[in-house]
A and B are shown apart, each in its own frame.
Chain A
Amino acid sequence: MIESLHYLIGGFAVAGTPQNLLYCLGGAIVGTLIGVLPGIGPIAGIALLIPITFGLNATSALIMLAGIYYGAMYGGSTTSILMNVPGETASVITCIDGYRMAQQGRAGPALAIAAIGSFIGGTIAIFGLVLIAPPLAQAALVFGPAEFFSLMVFGFVVLSNVTGGSLIKNLMMTIVGLIIGTIGLDPVTGNERFTFGSAYLLGGIEFVAVAIGVFGIGEILSTAAKPAELLDQQVIVPRLRDLFPTRDDLKRSIGAILRGTGIGFAVGLIPGPAPVIATYASYMVEKRISKHPEEFGKGAIEGVAGPETANNAATQSAFIPLFVLGIPFGPVTAILLGALLIHGVTPGPLLIAESPQLFWAVVASMYIGNFILLLLNLPFVPLFAQILRVPKRILLPLIMLICITGMFSVNNSLPDIWTMLGFGVLGYILRGWAYEGAPLLLGLVLGPKLEVAFRQSVMISHGDLAFFVQRPVSLALLVVTAGFLLFPLAKRVVALLRRKPVAATVASTTAEKEHS
């Protein structure tokens, strides 16, 4: 603990240099804008901005990208409260009570509580990260390929379970991502696979192209497909002097903020779209324990305070599995893993020991970034609200142009733009079929790691698959994975069995009536 604090102080020294402060501020502002603008979420946003970090060292680059991520989480609440349109998926829940508050002329307190809650949740979660990450990294040093393979399978299955929609569809998307990840050179033997003689495909499919395509272009096309009259919605612009919450608002919110912090932190440690799940869980808890549950959905401030705090706490704690295990548990951290690899940093159990300066500087920058966001969000809310007034008919072509230019910048490659457009069309079609993009992206990013871990494991065990269940950590992970796979199936079987006797009773009664 003392050692961690010592390193953290060193981290503040690195993060506090004028250059890194500027990147932290830049990331926080750009992230907030990404969160504010509907149509470009943190996944496509971070992927688009990776090229901007190419000229930076790994520490500065990660400080900026992390700033964009939690900045987007802060900004997402603005559109939810002022327009009833979530800037990103983690802000969906905030629409329920946040927009109601805005309609009642209380947009200011809703935005202020969202910002205060996000700050408290984020800051406490970073403290949790400081406490948990180093001992977890020590424990993870004993992980071999079998444990990593089981951990990744666990991640895929849990993500497929909690992403929303059909489990089978999500599992299929994971497999599609894994298949796309096999394109290029075999990571073990170096043989070409599915390249069809193309030199472009030798390096595999560029994950940034997939991320911008599926999440950015797919969203643009879905929005462009909407009738013109549905494109733009009314924006409620609060005045600066109306931003301050009342004493009662603060009293009602403090419990929700603390509970949201705990829920968000815990959810961030498990696989899945952590900020999204955290907001739902926090809202449910607040509604259940509230003395006035009837106020929820009608403008209860706890319905804004809890979820907004939880999504920021989850955002911070989601960095723990990424840094400590090298395994991203969600699509945004998968993008960050890709960015880290581009910068020559391999996250995993050895990261803290081998690159303490990078790890602790990024952690320290999170504290600074959260403080910047608190200062930035409140006074600039009216400005962000004005940005929301830019009509979508202008915004969408602009975002499209940025996507094309941003994609080209990654490798200075025209074929990358075609790949992005191809995946954009795929993303649009998948939305129509109600298939999720997040499992596909995670499968693509983790595919090569999964293959290496599997092949190393079977080579070590001479082809004995029992190896995966002979190691305790791997066994535990596989048992939980099996539970996640079998539970929905068991639920369906029980539902079917319950329905059958009812159906049989109805049928026999009808037959008796007809007979009589």
Chain B
Amino acid sequence: MTGAIALFCFGAVTALLSLQYPLGSLRMPGSGFLPLALGVMLMGLAAAQSAQVRAARTTPAESGPAEPAKAGDDGRRVLFFMGAVAAATALLGPLGFVPMSFLLMLVLLRLMGERRWMACGLIALASSAASQLVFVIWLKIPLPGGIFGF
């Protein structure tokens, strides 16, 4: 249900924004024609999906988890995981690739349950060095150097 509502809103925003562009006519459709049509179609389908979910909830035979929840999922870990990745991306420019990849690996390994600091440090060091070798030295990709120059 939440998904259908979110997509309905996305369709509505698309349709509204597309009105800023020339719609043209069926003979000569403008830039806003297709986005408007797609936005409206998305709203219609999202409404149909919501109606279907509501109907399934009221019909005992069809009731059940319409949007299955993942039992036992650790949402907090996902949040921290993405937080660490976002922070690393923000630091990639100023800090440089090698320090960023070392820190990112260190944090993610700890977050994923690797308890030994020594192991985390060694794996992080090896993976950032290997990435530098493969991407920068072998493939010649100009990854940001940052304050340390690598």
> Could you tell me which A residues sit within 8 Å of B by CB distance?
51-52, 166, 168-169, 171-172, 175-176, 178-179, 182, 186, 188-189, 191, 193-194, 220-222, 224-228, 230-231, 392-394, 396-398, 400-402, 404-405, 408-409, 412, 414, 417-418, 421, 424-425, 428, 430, 432-435, 451, 454-455, 458-459, 462-463, 465, 499
Contacts and interface: CB of A to CB of B under 8 A. Distances in A.
B149 interface: no
A189 B105 contact: no
B78 A176 contact: no
Contact of A191 (B2, B3, B31, B82): B31
A433 B31 contact: no
A458 B27 contact: yes
B139 A52 contact: yes
Q: Which 10 A-B pairs have the closest CB atoms?
A: A397-B108, A463-B27, A433-B3, A393-B112, A463-B26, A225-B73, A186-B31, A191-B31, A409-B141, A228-B113
B54 interface: no
Given A166-B49, A188-B31, 18 more contacts: A169-B49, A175-B38, A220-B81, A221-B82, A225-B77, A231-B112, A392-B112, A393-B109, A396-B112, A405-B101, A408-B92, A418-B89, A421-B89, A432-B70, A433-B2, A433-B67, A454-B29, A465-B26
Contacts of A432: 67, 69-70
Contacts of B31: 186, 188-189, 191, 193
A430 B67 CA distance: 10
B81 A168 contact: no
Contacts of B104: 397, 400-401, 404
Interface in B1-48: 2-3, 7, 10-11, 14, 17-18, 21-22, 25-35, 38-39, 41-42, 45-46, 48
25 contacts: A168-B49, A175-B11, A175-B42, A175-B45, A176-B42, A178-B34, A178-B38, A182-B35, A182-B38, A194-B17, A221-B78, A221-B82, A225-B74, A226-B72, A226-B74, A396-B108, A397-B108, A400-B104, A401-B127, A408-B141, A414-B92, A417-B89, A433-B67, A451-B34, A455-B33
B135 A421 contact: no
Nearest to B7: A172
Interface in B39-76: 39, 41-42, 45-46, 48-49, 52, 61, 67-70, 72-75
A231 B108 CA distance: 15
Nearest to B26: A463
Given A179-B14, A224-B112, A421 B85 contact: yes
Contacts, number: 167
A428 B79 CA distance: 11
Contacts of B135: 405, 409
B139 to A, nearest CB: 7
B68 A434 contact: yes
Nearest to B124: A397
Nearest to A412: B142
Nearest to A190: B31
B81 A179 contact: no
B123 to A, nearest CB: 6
A179 B27 contact: no
A443 B1 CA distance: 23
A279 to B, nearest CB: 23
Contacts of B72: 226-227, 230
A414 B52 contact: no
Contacts of B38: 175, 178-179, 182
Given A226-B74, A433-B2, A172 B46 contact: yes
Contacts of B128: 401
B45 to A, nearest CB: 5
A421 B143 contact: no
A400 B49 contact: no
Contacts of A396: 108, 112
Contacts of A231: 112-113
Nearest to A220: B81
B119 to A, nearest CB: 9
A462 B27 contact: yes
